[in-house]
Structure 1
């Protein structure tokens, strides 16, 4: 018993010496995913009632952790759609954008695509609220986008396109952008991971048990710094995929909207349909996700971006 007490004291002293350790909560991630995917209707472009209900939930959750939450409404074919933005750090400092889309394709729950990314965004908001952001050199904006999915994908109607265009027109300095696009699905068995080009399996393996940082070749200083910080966490396998944007999947999320303005951007993903057969299917449900590994992803994300924000 005495030896156990000594070990406990040593661990506690070490934690205090290093500062408070902030970790993502898998229970909170699960709660967010189940809430966002709950209900009889679907948060797609045709159902603005459900989309708005989801946006209200996101806005209320973000409002628990920062007083700076704003809506960015815009019109498409006479209907209103909304981005939700939560900010941390000095108002006029260059920005780090972290975003995830909350809409779905057609009529399906969209647990991995992309309630998982939005849940990560909301949990990150809670974690960032524990930091003294007034001393940061950069500002972090968390953005929940609407209308990433078809038929809006790669059009001016994407929420991320609207957001990026506003920043460019307002001459807002952007350090870089991180897209959270499906972060909840993992498989440990062999041959559960596929690739856009078959030979990639010789470099990345056939087990779908890792998270991926997807970036352009020669992504830039922001991308390099973030990737180093994100990979520093040893609680989940992380693999970096660097390729030209023409390789299938490299630009398939909201980060492409920021590339269009010359800003550095990357995507964090479980590789979507290259692993998850539930992609854009009614089987993309909350019970298929691994909330423990999701929490590791968000913890590593927090550690990387909070360090970068401090300069």
Structure 2
């Protein structure tokens, strides 16, 4: 057994007997805890420095990080949800008290984690997270997991089979090319309005844009992370100007409004579409789907 973490795996913990099999004596282990080389998570269970706090919290109560908490750790889009989600094996008993802010889930898993894994497998985390979200946000989570490469395309059938009825319509709208959760939600809003939507479109002289709706309206889903300084804002405005020369209009809803003021975003998009194409876009040879 190596105590070096594998970048492809979830973080792992170690039991006293595992370390003893590698030659660790009780005295050496106690010294390692004192100097910070190991973390004592609970009796007979240890972790390495740098172990994410949410993983440590899960292991301390005899569980594994799961659901939205595990997906957030991996960078997958999930709707904001307070607290830490921890899976406890159904047969587990005599557990320590559960601290405030930890949400315990029980139930059988579809994938068996490594015996020393601090987290459930991604497929289970996606199912757990999607069940706890509205279907639009849940679909965005699924697309994000595929886009990031942590969930395989061939696992989608198993995921959707495990989800509630509200996801039946959602599956036909799945498009794993979306590069952010807010982009997925904007695409769904447009589809629900009856519009045609193209995803990740390359326009010559403009570059790649998030969405093109009904062939003339560019929608770019802006977030503070990528659009917070004047240099980026200036580049965005020049892209919009280049698109306008070709006959496109551009709408830039901010991520905060897409997530928390969705009725206003929907109304704005509906108003733009009701007004119709303002000018014929000269798109011959300028546009291709990403």
Fold-level similarity (TM above 0.5)? no
Larger Rg: 2
- If asked which structure has higher relative contact order (CA below 8 Å, sep 6+), I would say 1
**TM-score normalised by L of structure 2:** 0.31
**TM-score normalised by L of structure 1:** 0.29
